[in-house]
Structure 1
Amino acid sequence: MVREAMIVSAQPEASEAGARVLMAGGNAVDAAITAALVQGVVDPQMCGIAGFGNCQIHMPSKGVHTCIDFHGKTPLSATPEMWENLIEGETRDGFGFVLKGNINDLGYQAITTPGSLKAYGEAISQYGTWDWADIVAPAIAQADEGFRVRPHVYFWWVNGADHGRVPVDQRLSFSSIGKRSYFNSSGNLKKIGEKVHIPEMANTLRKIAKQGVESFYTGEIAEQIASDMKTNGGLLSYDDLASYSTTVTEPLTGDYRNYRITTNQPPGGGVMLIEMLNILENFDLKKIGHNTSEYIRVVAEAMKLATADKDRHVGDPQFVDVPLSKLLSKDYAKSVSERIMNGEKMTVERYGSNEPKQTTHVAVVDYDGNCVTMTHSLGMPSGVITDNLGFMYNGCMAVFDPRPNRAGSIAPGKSRFSSLAPTIVSKDGQPFIVLGAPGGTQIAMGILQSVVNVIDFDMNMLEAVSAPRFSATSNLIDVMNRIPSYITNNLEGQGYEIARSALSFGIAAVHGIRIQDGKLDGGADPGHDGVALKV
């Protein structure tokens, strides 16, 4: 029995809002959704009510274990071939495509039908205990107050997009509200510690608190959104909003060294996580040694294989036949592990370059042992802010494959693949680790290493999310700067190309909670601004 409660998120303001809910008697769902709404206020390019995501809810005493998938869906006016002749490139890690004029990346045509607010409302109505207006109230208060620019927010504003992507300052200045809110009187981006205040966002949240979620999908707000989209050539319409629905599924399950892994179904990234764990189960990782050159080689090859399989097979299961039985097969994993043992190098063809991603995460465990892990995002934000509404829309069209007849191709009403993988690891039938991460295609890679750090190397949660990470979502191996060069030199001697980051922390930003003997310990990735709060 859990005797404590904890929340961890990438923003201190959100963690505090959720902690206050727990202290006031709210359950894990109440706390998670309250925190998520605050995240959309204080990190408005990472997530928000016009975003997408996935939420795993586990309430053991009530027999509830479910995932709410709320990926953004392609507007009904989109067609598979509409951008086929505009392709200029693809990012190295497969996060998206670069088109002429950045039409899929910046502006009104970059927007998919948002699912976040719909999912927040459904989670509260079905599994929460608080009134909706009380859930939204902390976000309204935060929007009224504004927020001070934190270090990671500023870092992303300055460094968050390159290699063919539209720079972040162009996204922030795309709308009149953005120009006024994110830049100072001299026309420069606001610095760390300066305040951002968007009163239109507070007013929109007030309407949502009073009128309910449907105001965004069929009511006054929906009409404002649809009018703005039509005026500016957007793909999104009122019919897209009115017809949007979440997808509720059972978690995708796997096993790793007698631990049960539960994560999300496609089009999310859970399948990659379980596939990689199945491969690594055939290696004595502890004997190989944490972050040795051989360890990095083995894990990187598992990452490359899972990435290639994802590119080839994984998409929206309503449109694509995803061969889960093969991808999650222990026999398949065994055959792959034998190839890795024999020194074979997997191939993931890409062109372009790596870049950070725009997502965030919240994880909660309450006093009754209920668990919530939710990753939500704007993708690369579109830059669009409708006058009088205040929030920025997602830019998820950039991730769809503009080439027809592929797993990730555009189709009306289709959800895009994402690497989101909110995960719960159970031991002897009880939740043991509750975790997730932002980080684009690096998400599954960061979660993988954190799970292995706890299970194979006996790390606590903070140690697990803080240890140096690496990733291979192309033929390169990306490493963070705390991995010594004498380790990577050995890999280069074996013919591997290493891309060393100047950053000390990265490869997703994992946030998690470990549950042991009724006690909780949490970890917020040091590379972001977050915090774990125990109450």
Structure 2
Amino acid sequence: MRSFHFPGRSTVHAQNAMVATSHPLAALAAVEVLREGGTAADAAVAGSLLLGVIEPQSTGIGGDCFALIQPRGEGKITAYNGSGRAPKAANVEWYLERKINSVPLTSAHAVSIPGAIDAFATVLRDHGKFGFDRLAQPAIKAAEEGYVVAPRIAFDWKNQFEKLKNGTNTERYLLPHGKPAVAGDVIRQPELGKTLRAIAKDGRDAFYKGPIAEDMVETLRGIGGLHTLDDFADHTTEVTTPIGTTYKGYDVWQCPPNGPGITMLVMLNILSRFDLKKFAPLSVERFHLEAEAARIAYMIREMHVADPAHMKIDVAKILATEFADEYIAKIRMDGLLDLPNVAPPMNPSTIYITVVDKDRNVCSFINSIAHSFGSAIVSNKTGVLLQNRAGGFRIQPDHPNCIAGGKRPLHTIIPALLTKAGRGIMPFGVMGGQYQPVGQTHVLTNILDYGCDVQEAIDMPRGLHYEGVYQLEDSVPAAVVDGLKKLGHKTTSVVGPLGGGQAIWIDWDKGTLTGGSDPRKDGCALGY
């Protein structure tokens, strides 16, 4: 329990239903859907559509979506993979012939087919009561009538000014006064509102066929893209079974590859060999072990994980408790493992929503346009800001994540779900690109090893060992930073905080819900 003498957030409590998001307006819109009798899936879609307008640096209908849904908190968990594919013409030889050795992140080649709208439609088909005609209304209103820019969003807008100034149509759509939006500005996007109205009227086909798709393809081909109308029309969402592992008597579930949730599960398998309780939550030892687990897990991911439609991935073998034994046995408390330096090609941004409704339907839902403001390409007439998720591909013929026509890139966004004896306990997620597996592990071990409530677990100072450097938030104590340096870690502070996060804990005995939302973003948990 937090001390009320110090700044902080209380957990949010409710009996009927709850949502936690990265923006209070999205939380409010989702709760209004729940109060009208909508399901957790309905609320998540409404919130995500709205966030695509009011948090444009993180998400939008030009991006991708993953979800885990468990009916009534006790049923079968279903995983939804709404990640887009590369254009069918995007073969590696095309790039190599033109001496393109990595995907430029603000080029048309970084734009994979947006999967979010089809994923939303698929989730609503299976678990919703409402349709786009109701759920898109808050987003339409925000786009057409305007929304007020929140502080964290303004922070990101300022940091991405040069990118937006040099993008395709971004100056017109996202720099309306020639400068970044600041907190308190009112932004209107009537073209995006018109696009959302078409989706509200005609559903997913309005996005993937007809004038909207034609405009996206025309925009992309006009700047060198390989996209076709067939690439959009043929897009589908994969409905599949989650993968999981056990930690401290709980089961932890993730979407399977091409999602990177397997990375978090490998981290948990490694950390399960250590008694973290021996070390303080803000200690050199705890941060060191987390970094070593991450380095091993990310190396394994780079070697073994990509789109399973294009390579064989032995998930069961990777998740076997003995799989990483060779590396675990070499972990030292007085120095670093000698491991190859893993440098993933992208470290993007995202939004995460968690919802539990009055029937205890559980929804863990994530939506992203990859890097902040995606590719910085806005479709000419539609106002759709397109993701740069294909920047996650390699242009290396021998690499499992090499670009290929119709292939999905190794992703970064991961919704998570904690269960016990088959019952949903906590849908949760931590945003922040490559940080997400580490962030989820950090939050979960804060709860299960250190006894934090969901808000304390989210608030705790964070670090990410990435590209050979331990990136640490300013809130990490100086003594911990010094101790990590003595162990051989190269450390640096980060400009922006590491990710964001939301979680809802379900207490089945009391019949209550407890929510937390990250102060690193503008949002909140809200219930009734």
Partner of 2:504: 513
**In the TM superposition, what are the counterparts of 1:90-239 in structure 2 within 5 Å?**
99=102, 104-160=104-160, 168-171=161-164, 174-176=167-169, 178-185=170-177, 187-239=178-230
Q: Please tell me whether residue 451 in structure 1 is matched to residue 463 in structure 2.
A: no
Question: Relative to structure 1, is the Cα distance of residues 55 and 192 closer, same or farther in structure 2, using a 3 angstrom cutoff?
Answer: same
Count of residues in correspondence between the two structures: 510
Per the TM alignment, residue 104 of structure 1 is displaced from its structure 2 partner at its CA by 2.5
Partner of 1:281: 272
Distance in 2 between residues matched to 1:399 and 1:355, nearest whole Å: 6
2:341 aligned to 349, 356, 363, which one? 349
Per the TM alignment, residue 326 of structure 1 is displaced from its structure 2 partner at its CA by 2.6
Per the TM alignment, residue 233 of structure 1 is displaced from its structure 2 partner at its CA by 2.6
Q: Which amino acid aligns with 2:386?
A: Y
Partner of 2:470: 477
Distance in 2 between residues matched to 1:484 and 1:16, nearest whole Å: 35
2:90 aligned to 69, 75, 78, which one? 78
1:17 aligned to 18, 29, 51, which one? 29
Q: Which amino acid aligns with 2:350?
A: T
Distance in 1 between residues matched to 2:20 and 2:343, nearest whole Å: 36
Per the TM alignment, residue 132 of structure 1 is displaced from its structure 2 partner at its CA by 2.8
Distance in 1 between residues matched to 2:55 and 2:384, nearest whole Å: 11
Per the TM alignment, residue 344 of structure 1 is displaced from its structure 2 partner at its CA by 5.4
Partner of 1:492: 485
Contact kept in structure 2, 1:418 and 1:441, CA below 8 Å:
no
Partner of 1:382: 375
Question: Relative to structure 1, is the Cα distance of residues 113 and 7 closer, same or farther in structure 2, using a 3 angstrom cutoff?
Answer: same
Partner of 1:308: 299
Aligned partner of residue 330 in structure 2, secondary structure: helix
2:75 aligned to 24, 39, 63, which one? 63
Q: Which amino acid aligns with 1:464?
A: A
TM-score normalized with structure 1 length: 0.90
Aligned partner of residue 26 in structure 2, secondary structure: helix
Q: Which amino acid aligns with 1:10?
A: S
Per the TM alignment, residue 443 of structure 1 is displaced from its structure 2 partner at its CA by 0.8
Distance in 1 between residues matched to 2:303 and 2:261, nearest whole Å: 16
Per the TM alignment, residue 360 of structure 1 is displaced from its structure 2 partner at its CA by 0.9
Aligned partner of residue 478 in structure 1, secondary structure: strand
Distance in 2 between residues matched to 1:498 and 1:32, nearest whole Å: 37
Distance in 2 between residues matched to 1:20 and 1:500, nearest whole Å: 39
Distance in 1 between residues matched to 2:162 and 2:495, nearest whole Å: 22
Contact kept in structure 2, 1:74 and 1:411, CA below 8 Å:
yes
Aligned partner of residue 278 in structure 1, secondary structure: helix
Q: Please tell me whether residue 252 in structure 1 is matched to residue 254 in structure 2.
A: no
Per the TM alignment, residue 246 of structure 1 is displaced from its structure 2 partner at its CA by 1.0
Per the TM alignment, residue 334 of structure 1 is displaced from its structure 2 partner at its CA by 4.6
Q: Which amino acid aligns with 2:478?
A: S
Contact kept in structure 2, 1:280 and 1:337, CA below 8 Å:
no
2:421 aligned to 428, 435, 453, which one? 428
Q: Please tell me whether residue 264 in structure 1 is matched to residue 255 in structure 2.
A: yes
Distance in 2 between residues matched to 1:497 and 1:437, nearest whole Å: 24
Question: Relative to structure 1, is the Cα distance of residues 339 and 62 closer, same or farther in structure 2, using a 3 angstrom cutoff?
Answer: closer
Distance in 2 between residues matched to 1:489 and 1:174, nearest whole Å: 41
Aligned partner of residue 81 in structure 1, secondary structure: helix
Q: Which amino acid aligns with 1:275?
A: V
- Structure 1 residues 441-463: Cα deviation after superposition (integer angstroms, max 9, x where no partner): 11111111001111111111110
Q: Which amino acid aligns with 2:367?
A: H
Question: Relative to structure 1, is the Cα distance of residues 409 and 201 closer, same or farther in structure 2, using a 3 angstrom cutoff?
Answer: same
Query: Which range moves more in the overlay, 139-148 or 221-230?
Result: 221-230
Partner of 1:326: 317
Tell me, which stretches of 5 or more residues in structure 2 are unaligned?
Answer: 1-13
Contact kept in structure 2, 1:478 and 1:501, CA below 8 Å:
yes
Q: What value does the CA root-mean-square deviation take over the aligned residues?
A: 2.2
Q: Which runs of 4+ in 1 moved over 4 A?
A: 85-88, 341-344
Contact kept in structure 2, 1:14 and 1:39, CA below 8 Å:
yes
Distance in 2 between residues matched to 1:73 and 1:295, nearest whole Å: 38
Partner of 1:468: 461
Distance in 2 between residues matched to 1:120 and 1:146, nearest whole Å: 24
Aligned partner of residue 331 in structure 1, secondary structure: coil
The sequence identity of aligned pairs, in percent, is 28
Contact kept in structure 2, 1:171 and 1:382, CA below 8 Å:
no
Question: Relative to structure 1, is the Cα distance of residues 492 and 174 closer, same or farther in structure 2, using a 3 angstrom cutoff?
Answer: closer
Distance in 2 between residues matched to 1:83 and 1:478, nearest whole Å: 33
Aligned partner of residue 459 in structure 1, secondary structure: coil
- Structure 1 residues 447-493: Cα deviation after superposition (integer angstroms, max 9, x where no partner): 11001111111111110111001122333222111111211212211
Question: Relative to structure 1, is the Cα distance of residues 34 and 154 closer, same or farther in structure 2, using a 3 angstrom cutoff?
Answer: same
Q: Which amino acid aligns with 2:270?
A: I
Q: Which amino acid aligns with 2:141?
A: A
Partner of 2:234: 243
Per the TM alignment, residue 341 of structure 1 is displaced from its structure 2 partner at its CA by 4.5
Distance in 1 between residues matched to 2:272 and 2:325, nearest whole Å: 9
Per the TM alignment, residue 357 of structure 1 is displaced from its structure 2 partner at its CA by 2.5
Aligned partner of residue 492 in structure 2, secondary structure: strand
Question: Relative to structure 1, is the Cα distance of residues 261 and 313 closer, same or farther in structure 2, using a 3 angstrom cutoff?
Answer: same
Distance in 2 between residues matched to 1:85 and 1:249, nearest whole Å: 37
Contact kept in structure 2, 1:365 and 1:371, CA below 8 Å:
yes
Distance in 1 between residues matched to 2:343 and 2:296, nearest whole Å: 17
